[in-house]
Structure 1
């Protein structure tokens, strides 16, 4: 088992894009079908391809976006987090399912919180997937309301809008 002290959280670079998509894909595809049907999971995170990798590489360099990766000693990407600065929004946070429940998600979230605090954000928000609500509650987020998340193919999935005050 990897201990979190052996995990480095750093700003993502363009060349991390393929590994970031792979982590997202693995994480989404491991979500219980009790939470979301297979067609939702497929629309949420399609199989990695060249077009998506290029899109992510460009996204990492967007001025309103701050992306982080958690890596092990071998620089393997184990977790991914994306923060939208102007919206004070956590866009995504994924951990490779083989490395879940090791504190990687918590470390990435703390990294976003520190960054947001430096940018003088007063709160963070997220549209949390059904399977992640308890994680965010444990990290101090409050449920605000049930919402729909629009997916890349135009379909929607159930989510919960959550907020956390930071200062």
Structure 2
């Protein structure tokens, strides 16, 4: 699907929050309990997104000027890759990851890491990421994955 990928702005915070929470509730809820989903949602309010915009390189993908996906890069770590459930499996997440990988490589990052949800492990594996280990935050399982970048 054709989309425009750009750096997120503060005006995108509410839309980014909506995309993330919709994806958590629909997609991630298949692999995590309601309590975990509710806990994770706390980190993605519009106010929290505004803070993240000052700490990371945050990107959005838009279709017809509507934010439908987001991803961010914090040095050598991919963070918060979410696609609106209505737009999943249409290549938008992959397009965002191409942008993230290109940005990381141009910043001389040798290895890119991602703390993956259970729900997204297959997606990252399809992009060449390999599982390094599991991490647990309480009962929330996160899969740490890594990929070497060609310089």
TM-score (norm 1): 0.84
Q: Deviations over 1:51-82 (max 9, x none)?
A: x32331232133xx100000012x10000001
In the alignment, the residues of structure 2 paired with residue 32 and residue 129 of structure 1 have an alpha-carbon distance, to the nearest angstrom, of: 8
- What is the Cα deviation at residue 35 of structure 1? 1.3
1:164 matched residue in structure 2: 147
- What is the Cα deviation at residue 104 of structure 1? 0.6
The alignment status of 1:78 with 2:68, answered yes or no, reads yes
In the alignment, the residues of structure 1 paired with residue 99 and residue 11 of structure 2 have an alpha-carbon distance, to the nearest angstrom, of: 20
In the alignment, the residues of structure 1 paired with residue 96 and residue 29 of structure 2 have an alpha-carbon distance, to the nearest angstrom, of: 26
Note if contact 1:13-1:60 (Cα within 8 Å) is conserved in structure 2: yes
Say which structure is richer in helix: 2
**CA distance 1:145–1:132, change in 2 (3 Å):** same
SS at match of 1:68: strand
In the alignment, the residues of structure 2 paired with residue 21 and residue 32 of structure 1 have an alpha-carbon distance, to the nearest angstrom, of: 15
SS at match of 2:17: helix
**CA distance 1:142–1:45, change in 2 (3 Å):** same
Note if contact 1:130-1:160 (Cα within 8 Å) is conserved in structure 2: yes
TM-score (norm 2): 0.92
The alignment status of 1:136 with 2:136, answered yes or no, reads no
Q: How large is the RMSD of aligned CA atoms in angstroms?
A: 1.6
Counterpart selection for 1:27 from 19, 23, 26 = 23
- Gaps of at least 5 residues in structure 2 are none
The alignment status of 1:66 with 2:57, answered yes or no, reads yes
Matches within 5 A, 1:1-167: 3=1, 5=2, 7-31=3-27, 33-46=29-42, 52-62=45-55, 65-73=56-64, 75-85=65-75, 88-148=76-136, 150=137, 155-167=138-150
| Count of matched residue pairs | 150
Moved beyond 6 Å, runs of 4+: none
Note if contact 2:19-2:68 (Cα within 8 Å) is conserved in structure 1: yes
